[in-house]
Amino acid sequence: MSDLHECIDPDLASWISNQGVFFVATAPLSTDGHVNLSPKGGDSFRVLGPMEVAYLDYTGSGAETAAHLRENGRVVIMFCAFEGSPRILRLHGKGTVITASDPQFTELVKRFPDNLGTRAIVHVLVGRVATSCGYAVPVMKFIGHRDGLDKWASAKGPEKLKDYRVQNNPLSIDGLPAFDREQ
């Protein structure tokens, strides 16, 4: 059973900022389509307001989240405590993908550290904030963020990253549009 909260209050916002990983789940409208669940990390998540969050979407091999958000906007973001007191937090909402060509991108990206691998920003208007116990979540020690993606992006450079995204990110695995080819 979960506890509903009116908003992301300062206690929850502070707790979120101390988590080393979060998970993003989306699904297409088609029952034949693939549900997607992606782990995220790094200094990539921000609480923008009591019912508004955003995170950096890094260049990757897939583009399921972007495709699903373009199609229907449904998203849930989950945090779970692997250290300290057990807690799970789910933020259900409607998400949009904001790319560098969108005027909103310039202002939002200022809230994050520079990251060459940033492909877009996912902006979520939260409609439901719920916590649950997390008693079955294992205790694990957070050692640090991995730097593999940063090294990969740096080695590629801006132009080769753009080429990579054009080749690998225009469609989801179900053929839904994710990113325009010029992004």
* pLDDT at site 183: 56
* pLDDT at site 55: 98
- DSSP class per residue in 78-147: EEE-SSSS--EEEEEEEEEEE-TTSHHHHHHHTTS---TTEEEEEEEEEEEEEEE--TTSPP--------
**Domain residues of the chain, as ranges?**
3-168
Residue type at 56 in one-letter notation: L
* pTM metric for this prediction: 0.96
Asked if 134 contacts 87 with a C-beta cutoff of 8 angstroms, the reply is yes
Gyration radius from the chain CA atoms: 16
Distance CA 56, CA 70 (A): 16
* pLDDT at site 180: 87
Its sign, for the CA torsion 42, 25, 108, 13, is negative
Q: What distance, in Å, lies between the first and last C-alpha atoms of the chain? A: 42
User: How many of the other CB atoms lie within 10 Å of CB of 111?
Assistant: 11
- Quick one: CATH architecture of 3-168? Roll (2.30)
* pLDDT at site 182: 62
One digit per residue, pLDDT tens: the chain, 183 residues?
689 999 999 999 999 999 999 999 999 999 999 999 999 999 999 999 999 999 999 999 999 999 999 999 999 999 999 999 999 999 999 999 999 999 999 999 999 999 999 999 999 999 999 999 999 999 999 999 999 999 999 999 999 999 999 999 999 999 999 998 765
